[in-house]
């Protein structure tokens, strides 16, 4: 068994235990070769273990490392390495200063709907990316959701994950996963698919919103599984848009549940802050009031003039409002763009009835945010938001790559480059965005001296 200050694999110095599960121990460690803090997950050898048990433990560790390393997403814990040392298997993971969602629920009780939706959207976006790679997590629970102090959430522990069509490592007829969060089809022993992860995330969000799993917990495992298979679900006590989405995710019929990508979009819409009403500056209000008074005086003068003379006065041409403009909003971490609609041709003065005001074509916006950086590189998250008053069926984001910057890899989108111009289109599964919904894609980039400038993004519906 490892202990503090123990150096394993010749490079990882264990600093202290930070977690423990039924089959593993998690340590905070120092990677002395790369001079960084990591998390080391140990799958210890049990006393009296048979060769078959040792082989299963080794296979599980390698399996988790292979699957998790395929998923590169800002809301999934990254796996850096896997190895065997003194009879135990170890996985080296990204270290995230955080607490599990379970700990937060125990500490705070039921959480606010918007906070739950925000966490749910982040986890759903990572799982949607996993599903796009054909990976099922199989154990989505509050224990496996890590949350930082600033609200960033990441999914971890792909220990029982598997690829679509792959047989579970435990063998046929064995139920894997945490009982309180199992989908009915899994609890009944029929195996699971992508909708099973949707159900488990719904049960996780239900626990955060209500303070307890949808079918309760308790020590009587068989009674719990019977309640799940019989769909004895107690409706949420906190009704609202989030409860409606959670109930959809908990539908007994897998075909009626939303896809993980659709769930991510629905949760993003709930997590988005309400739009603030436009505020008219004080000076502008004074100018508007003065203009109104002047209009009243002008109207009174016109009435007097018309009644005092029989000759009609020539009518003044109506005032044209200044042309409206739409500009890019560029901050240190985000950019959005909109395309102005062409101006309508001006009608002759005799036929004018109202001034034509240009209106920006509805579309989408893209927000660029550097989430992690290191010497010579950075990780970027781009959030695509539907600004249309209707469903968006596809999107394209483009920008000019700043000097000294090169994209190394990209996920949740299809990447092409034409010289310094970068074009990212949706990945198919995240193309559909409901009104005011959002999705994300991410990338890793190399940054040389002088690079790292935040580009201006253009987002267009496709």
Task: Give the C-alpha separation, 59 to 170, whole Å.
Answer: 11
Contact 380, 72 (CB under 8 A): no
431 burial class (0-12, 13-18, 19+ CB within 10 angstroms)? middle
CA distances from 369 to 24, 290, 383, 400, 401 (A): 34, 44, 8, 16, 15
The DSSP H or E segment spanning 221 is helix 221-229
In this structure, how many other beta carbons lie within 10 angstroms of the beta carbon of residue 236?
A: 19
Contact 460, 385 (CB under 8 A): no
Which residue carries 């998923």 as its tokens?
71
Task: Give the C-alpha separation, 122 to 264, whole Å.
Answer: 7
Please list, in sequence order, all residues whose beta carbon lies within 8 angstroms of the beta carbon of residue 369, skipping any fewer than 6 positions away: 333, 334, 380, 381, 382, 383
- Residues in the chain, total: 462
Structure tokens, 95: 């270290």
Task: Give the C-alpha separation, 147 to 224, whole Å.
Answer: 28
Task: Give the C-alpha separation, 396 to 313, whole Å.
Answer: 56
The reply to whether 139 belongs to the active site is: yes
Is the alpha carbon torsion for 426, 430, 433, 439 positive or negative?
Answer: negative
At residue 206, φ and ψ (nearest 5 deg) are -60, -45
Task: Give the C-alpha separation, 327 to 276, whole Å.
Answer: 20
Q: Which residue among 31, 139, 157, 426 is the active-site one?
A: 139
Structure tokens, 293: 């008074």
Task: Give the C-alpha separation, 263 to 249, whole Å.
Answer: 8
Structure tokens, 27: 């340590």
At residue 180, φ and ψ (nearest 5 deg) are -65, -15
Structure tokens, 84: 């065997």
Which residues does the annotation mark as catalytic? 139
């Amino acid at each position: 068994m490892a202990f503090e200050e123990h150096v394993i694999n010749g490079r990882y110095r264990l600093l202290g235990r930070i977690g423990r599960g039924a089959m593993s121990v998690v340590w905070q460690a120092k990677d002395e070769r790369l001079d960084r803090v990591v998390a080391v997950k140990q799958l210890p050898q049990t006393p009296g273990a048979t060769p078959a048990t040792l082989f299963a433990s080794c296979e599980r560790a390698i399996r988790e490392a292979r699957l998790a390393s395929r998923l590169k997403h800002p809301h999934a814990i990254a796996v850096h390495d896997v190895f065997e040392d003194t009879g135990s298997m170890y996985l080296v993971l990204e270290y995230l200063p955080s607490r599990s969602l379970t700990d937060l629920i125990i500490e705070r009780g039921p959480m606010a709907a918007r906070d739950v939706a925000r966490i749910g959207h982040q986890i759903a976006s990572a799982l949607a990316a996993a599903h796009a790679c054909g990976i099922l997590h199989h154990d989505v629970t509050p224990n496996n959701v890590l949350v930082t102090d600033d609200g960033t959430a990441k999914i971890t522990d792909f220990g029982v994950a598997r690829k679509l069509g792959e047989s579970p490592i435990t063998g046929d007829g064995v139920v894997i996963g945490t009982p309180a969060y199992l989908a009915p089809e899994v609890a009944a022993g029929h195996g699971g698919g992508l909708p099973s992860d949707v159900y488990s995330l719904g049960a996780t969000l239900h626990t955060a919103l209500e303070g307890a799993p949808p079918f309760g917990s308790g020590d009587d495992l068989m009674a719990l599984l019977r309640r799940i298979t019989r769909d004895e679900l107690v409706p949420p006590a906190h009704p609202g848009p989030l409860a409606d989405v959670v109930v959809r995710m908990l539908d007994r019929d897998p075909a009626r549940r939303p896809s993980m990508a659709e769930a991510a979009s629905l949760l993003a819409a709930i997590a988005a802050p309400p739009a603030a009403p436009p505020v008219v500056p004080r000076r502008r209000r004074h100018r508007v009031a003065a203009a109104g008074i002047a209009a009243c005086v002008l109207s009174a003068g016109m009435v007097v003039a018309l009644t005092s003379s029989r000759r009609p006065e020539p009518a003044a041409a109506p005032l044209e409002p200044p042309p409206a403009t739409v500009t890019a909003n560029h901050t240190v971490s985000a950019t959005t763009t909109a395309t102005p609609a062409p101006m309508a041709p001006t009608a002759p003065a005799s036929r004018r009835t109202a001034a034509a005001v240009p209106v920006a074509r509805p579309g989408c916006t893209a927000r660029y945010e550097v989430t992690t950086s290191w010497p010579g590189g950075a990780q970027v998250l781009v959030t695509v938001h539907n600004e249309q008053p209707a469903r968006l069926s596809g999107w394209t984001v483009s920008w000019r790559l700043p000097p000294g910057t090169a994209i190394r890899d990209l996920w949740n989108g299809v990447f092409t480059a034409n010289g310094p111009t970068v074009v990212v289109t949706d990945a198919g599964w995240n193309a559909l965005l409901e009104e005011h919904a959002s999705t994300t894609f991410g990338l890793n980039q190399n940054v040389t001296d002088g690079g790292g400038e935040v580009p201006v993004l253009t987002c267009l519906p496709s």
